[in-house]
Amino acid sequence: MDEWLTGALDSIGQGWAAGRLDVAQEHFISAGVMRRLAAAFDAAGNSRAGRHVVIGLAPGATHEIATLAFATMLRRRGLRVTYLGPDLPVTSWVRAAGEARPEAMVVGAPRVADADAAQEVVHALLEAAPHTRVYAGGPGATPGRELTGTTLAASADWLEDALSVPAVRDTGSGRGSRAVGA
């Protein structure tokens, strides 16, 4: 993902935007990537003993390749990962937090346009689930909650390390739950 696929998909997006690639060609390629990624996610296995991370995308966000790749990287690091997929309503995030009581939740915000929706999810989770650490990833990530790392792999390393340290109780004020800059 980090070494060539992200760059290749960026070129495909530029080709689509410039009219060199038809929508059918762009969809054909992204559908193929999604199939391979989903297979890798399933093949990575799911640790029963590992720290539980629930991950999905903000309401309205459908560019899920980076978030699913990140979820796969977390599984490969031995974490227990539940992937909720794209376009998840705020109420469903809150319900998932209450029922699964995971160690952490990661809200994918792949575009700047997803920032408001991601922030709404983050704030709702901080309010409703103080037992859970809340992070956001992507260009629309909520300030103070961003996953660090210049690559997906570096962000996965960072989260793995963060979860190996006991949680500081979150007050809902934006401080306490460890996140980059927080």
Where on the chain is the footprint of ligand B12 (CB under 6 A)?
1, 6, 9-10, 12-14, 16-17, 26-27, 30, 34, 62-67, 69-70, 106, 108, 110-111, 113, 137-139, 147, 152, 155
Q: Judged by CB, which is closer to ligand B12: 20, or 27? A: 27
Q: Judged by CB, which is closer to ligand B12: 14, or 171? A: 14
d(C-alpha 34, C-alpha 23), whole Å: 16
Contact 53, 162 (CB under 8 A): no
Q: Judged by CB, which is closer to ligand B12: 4, or 173? A: 4
Sign of CA dihedral 29, 31, 37, 43: negative
Which among 58, 133, 54 is positioned nearest to 99, based on CA atoms?
54
Q: Judged by CB, which is closer to ligand B12: 6, or 47? A: 6
Q: Judged by CB, which is closer to ligand B12: 57, or 126? A: 57
d(C-alpha 72, C-alpha 65), whole Å: 11
3 state SS of 127: helix
Residue number of the CB atom closest to ligand B12: 13
Strands in 104-108's sheet, in edge-to-edge order, are: 80-85, 52-57, 104-108, 133-137
d(C-alpha 26, C-alpha 129), whole Å: 39
Element (H, E) at 128: helix 115-128
